[in-house]
Structure 1
Amino acid sequence: MADQVTGPDWTPADHRPGPSLFFEDLEVGRRYGLPSRTQTDALFAAFQLASGDNDPIHYDRVYCQSIGHKDMLAHGMQVLIQSAAGAGTFPEEVADALIGFIGLECKFMKPVYVGDTLYSELVISELIEQNTTGVVVMTATIRNQDGVTVLTGEHRYLLRKRSSVSG
């Protein structure tokens, strides 16, 4: 029955949206918007559970207000993960070329509180050519619902060149 639905020659690779891009197909300035996400109480609790970070600044509203914050402050890493390229189309677009995520640098610019909605984007800022591979440098920017930049940074990915797989 499966062959009647999918066809005899179907494989999971047929599910891809199109052919994979390689290092030489990319251009500086290419933008990848990531889905927005509101930082809910549930996300705070889940991140606290996963990280083991039990600082009261992340879960005790009364404590946070007593030290001058308007509400619970998001974990820094909770904010950083909102820039994960896997939430967007980049990894899918370079599936056959992607060797790995090789570096990260970031700066936390402003606090993120429970209830803030974060809008993240990655923009290719540099392409560093190597022999059979290349490094894709992406600038990461995360803004809140008011347009305030809360994080800036840089991601680095190692990709194959097309010539390294076809020749």
Structure 2
Amino acid sequence: MPLYFEDFQVGQRFTTPARTVTEADIVNFAGVSGDFNPIHTDAEFARSTPFGARIAHGLLVLSMLTGLRQRSGHFEGTLIAWLEIRNYRFLKPVFIGDTIHGETEILEKRETSRPDRGILVQKVRVLNQKGEVVQEGEFVTMVKRREGGA
């Protein structure tokens, strides 16, 4: 069920569904982004790195987080715009076969001069199947208010 600005409360938390990162995800992202760095695309090269295997693009995982958040239904039809990504950090590698999910906490909400929208600041984290935080930061988004504000 989609949530409007008024429905969110500071301190509120929610978890997204999970998904497994596949080789197809990495190949497709490389094709779309043009980032064919061998750490992502060359198994022999990747074996020689400190990671020991190919890893997912950091921005692929960030993109997956945005999709997982959308699948949660909280922002379905109510998200107006992304305004900012703050202090985003890539903490651990994500490997082919890892299963990730996202967590969101509402840090701040503020009204705008327009009665049909508000701003949310959210702490976001991506966790792997071991419960390790692999990415974290803050999203600032503009969200619809209910008809007529309030």
TM range (shorter): 0.7 to 0.9
Unaligned runs of 5+ in 2: none
Aligned to 1:33: 15
Percent identity among equivalent residues? 34
Residues 98, 55 of structure 1: alpha-carbon distance in 2 compared, 3 angstrom cutoff: closer
Larger RCO (CA within 8 A; separation ≥ 6): 2
C-alpha distance in structure 2 between counterparts of 1:43 and 1:144, whole Å: 16
Q: Pairwise mapping of residues 5-154 of structure 1 onto structure 2 (< 5 A)?
A: 21-84=3-66, 85-92=69-76, 95=77, 97-105=78-86, 106-131=88-113, 132=115, 133-154=117-138
C-alpha distance in structure 1 between counterparts of 2:101 and 2:143, whole Å: 26
Q: Where in structure 1 do 4 or more consecutive aligned residues deviate above 4 Å?
A: none
1:21 shift after superposition: 4.2
Choose 25-34 or 115-124, whichever is displaced more: 25-34
C-alpha distance in structure 2 between counterparts of 1:72 and 1:161, whole Å: 43
- Secondary structure in structure 1 of the residue aligned to 2:17: coil
Deviations 1:42-70 (A, max 9, x none): 11111111111111110111101112222
TM-score (norm 1): 0.77
Give the total of aligned pairs.
145
Residues 71, 128 of structure 1: alpha-carbon distance in 2 compared, 3 angstrom cutoff: same
* 8 Å contact kept, 2:56–2:95: yes
Larger Rg: 1
Deviations 1:144-164 (A, max 9, x none): 11111100011111134447x
Structure number having the greater strand percentage = 2
Structure number having the greater helix percentage = 1
1:115 shift after superposition: 1.3
